[in-house]
Amino acid sequence: MKHRNQRIFAGILAITIVGFLIIAFILPFSYDRQNPPVVQEPSWDSPQTLRLAKRACFDCHSNETVWPWYSYLFPMATLIQRDVDKGREALNFSEWGAGRFEQAETETIVETISKNQMPLPYYIILHPEADLSDVEKGQLINGLITTMSPDKNLEADELDQPEK
3-state secondary structure of 100: coil
* pLDDT (tens digit per residue) in 127-147: 999 999 999 999 999 999 999
Q: Could you tell me the residue ranges of all domains in the chain? A: 31-160
Q: Considering the entire predicted model, what is its pTM?
A: 0.73
The sign of the dihedral angle between the CA atoms of 39, 129, 106, 162 is: negative
Q: What is the pLDDT of residue 151?
A: 64
Q: What is the pLDDT of residue 26?
A: 61
CA–CA–CA angle 100, 103, 109 (5° rounding): 90
